[in-house]
Amino acid sequence: MYFSMDEIGFENTEKIKSIASEADRWQFIYNVAKSYGFGGIHITPKLYKNEFRLDINNIPDYFQDFKLTLHFGGLYNRTADRDTFDVALAQCFEIATKNNMHDISLHPCQSVYGLSEDEKKSIYELFHKTIDKWLSIALKSTFSLSLETHVSGKYFLFDGLNDFVKFIDHYPGLGVLIDVSHNYYDGYSEDEIIKFLANKNVKGLHISDALQKLKGANFETGTHAAVGDGSVDFEKVLKGFAHIPNLYSALEIKASNEGVARSLKLLHEVHQRIV
């Protein structure tokens, strides 16, 4: 298991906005990841494009110092069609190949709120077809294709981890990216997350602290928190997945620079205790 940078911390996010040249912004990202002590970088196109104004078609070669993964995230909504999926995924595959990335992760289709059962069914079929096609391409490549465990049925195609597992069981080659924060917030305990997923083809974790909805937490403050600011038992979680080779744990933490640094330090300590 290694730890990977996603968010860079609030102060760093502000600072990068004041850096004029794109080359200097890439160098800044590199320096930030090195100074935190990350072994990898988990690149989310939306964050890099909108916040950092970086073109991920041109990642500098020196980023090969890090293990790289691409978090394509949520493309899918009710207006998407097969061609939209294909164009976007073709682009991702090109970026992953060019930069020796070892995983591309996707969200299940989202924004299903308010759709009829028939509409959901047709999105489900479209998603199946897309995975059929792109997984077979990924399996011939040097990287994995993974699906994130977003299972809040109101927003995402899958309603609960049961439903998610039903889908991925059709695809033994498909990777799984576990969003610990979202699943915990939705009411799954650490033990349940492990029970549902530890024997699946897990490739990565999205790590951040969380509180449970059932105990009155709201989504904004109850997810993506710095480690120690919620109630997730990370010793349990990391232990449950520590046996997986080359597993990435990407810190999806929305916090100050200090919060990101503290989270990584605590996770390193936990990891050293359990291996």
Q: Using CB under 5 A as the criterion, which residues of the chain lie in contact with Zn ion when the complex forms? A: 179, 206
- Nearest approach in angstroms of CB 71 to Zn ion is 8
With beta carbons less than 8 A apart as the criterion, state whether 184 and 193 touch.
yes
Distance in angstroms (rounded) separating the CA atoms of residues 148 and 154: 16
**177 class by beta-carbon count within 10 Å (0-12 exposed, 13-18 middle, 19+ buried):** buried
Shortest distance in whole angstroms from residue 192 CB to Zn ion? 18
Beta carbon nearer to Zn ion, 179 or 190: 179
The CB-of-33 to Zn ion minimum distance in angstroms stands at 18
Give how far Cα 247 sits from Cα of 33, 53, 102, 186, 221, Å.
18, 28, 10, 23, 27
Q: Identify which of residues 206 and 239 has a Cβ nearer to Zn ion in the complex.
A: 206
| Residue 196 CB burial class (10 angstroms; 0-12, 13-18, ≥19) | buried
Task: Return the number of the residue (7 or 179) whose C-beta is nearest Zn ion.
Answer: 179
The distance of closest approach from Cβ of residue 252 to Zn ion in the complex, given in angstroms and rounded to an integer, is: 5
Output 26 or 259, the one with its CB closest to Zn ion.
Answer: 259
Give me the least distance between CB of 223 and Zn ion, in Å please: 9
Structure tokens at 48: 């890099």
Give the three-state DSSP class for 138: helix
Nearer to Zn ion, 25 or 206 (CB): 206
